[in-house]
Structure 1
Amino acid sequence: MRYNSVLKNMLEVDEAINYLDSLHLFPHPDRPKSWDISKIIHILNKADKGSFILDVGCNTCPILSMLSMIGFKELYGCDLYLSSSSKSQSEIHEFKQYNLSIQNLENTNYRNNMFDYITSLSVIEHGINIEKYFKEMNRILKKGGMLLTSTDYWQNKISTKNSCLFGMPDIIFSRNEINNIINSAEKNGFELIEPIDFTCKDKVVRWEHNDVELTFLFFALKKIRSI
């Protein structure tokens, strides 16, 4: 499987769902998101089940539940907001099981070199300071650890003026912007595990709330040095 790539068509979504099903996992409620989740699961399914894993922007994201289902125990999640201030018993159990916390991913209280893997599913397009993102991810990842990131993408710039989600801006990154993001990652101690396949075929994803079409992009980075 090639990891660093653009979601090209619905066939790739169907293949991703079939892969998740083969592991007795479930598709994402937003079907195209199963594509980037399947890449994360494919990478992590080969990892030591004792690995420390953090999901940033974890609110409503099913990745921690999936990782728990395939045997991981050291699971952490953080977000600026976590659903339901008045939690049911099952929700309280989930908070404890996954070590969830409310904090800014740009400036967390996790210890240095704590995590083997960090997952970031459709997070960086929502008002994240990219430079601070990579600096903090570098700080809390072990050397050789991996940062697994997906985001909204189209090769040419698509305007999303006045579009927001949970009060945060929606950005669809262009190829030039992704290149700048990767340059920032490299400055902050990361390298791509492989080149990104930018080939675009279809706008697979549709934002119904403002009638915009786009696709997703996934890239895996390895921490090669501390900064």
Structure 2
Amino acid sequence: MESKNYYEDLSHIRSMMERSSRFISLSGLSGVVAGLAAIVGAVYVYFVFKREGIDYFDGDRNIFGPSLVKELVIIGTAILLVAVFSGYIFTANKSKKNGLKIWDATTKRLLITFAVPLVAGGFFCLGLLYHHLFVFIAPATLVFYGLALVSAERYTLTDVKYLGYCQIILGIFSMFFLGWGLVFWAIGFGVLHIVYGMIMHVKYK
């Protein structure tokens, strides 16, 4: 009996330490919603291409003009806002359900660690836009997003780093298939997010 209580106490202490050092309220459903938003956005972009007379899957390298790229940036920003807002809602609800604060010192450290490679990647992509190197934007977003996830893993669920590794590998792979960024973008931000979100929802619900 004493041995059982001893292990229960150790488990409780470990749980308290994890709660104090890691943000564990990330919702798997937020990943699913973000992935669905990315796929819907990718499908919408495909029809934008059709409107412009571009057959995206005709087998040629797809290079787009500045005006079309600006429209794509606006669409991408809208998708990002939907993903962030839905992520906040699901995560806040999970935190409330678990009796945890959504904003504390751990959350601040998580956001800072996550933001550094993400902001750097954002400015890098702006540089690509400025120099009209549009075909490199999709690979860059995947790689820098993956780096942000791997960096943030130390302050949240360990599983996040595996999603980050997949994003980095996909981004590097897409560098060898320039012009097909929409496909890789949909796989990375869409399919991978949905798969990851479903796994996390089942594992940590």
Bigger helix fraction: 2
Shared fold by TM > 0.5? no
Q: Which has the higher contact order (CA 8 A, sep 6+)?
A: 2
Query: Normalized against structure 2, the TM-score is what?
Result: 0.29
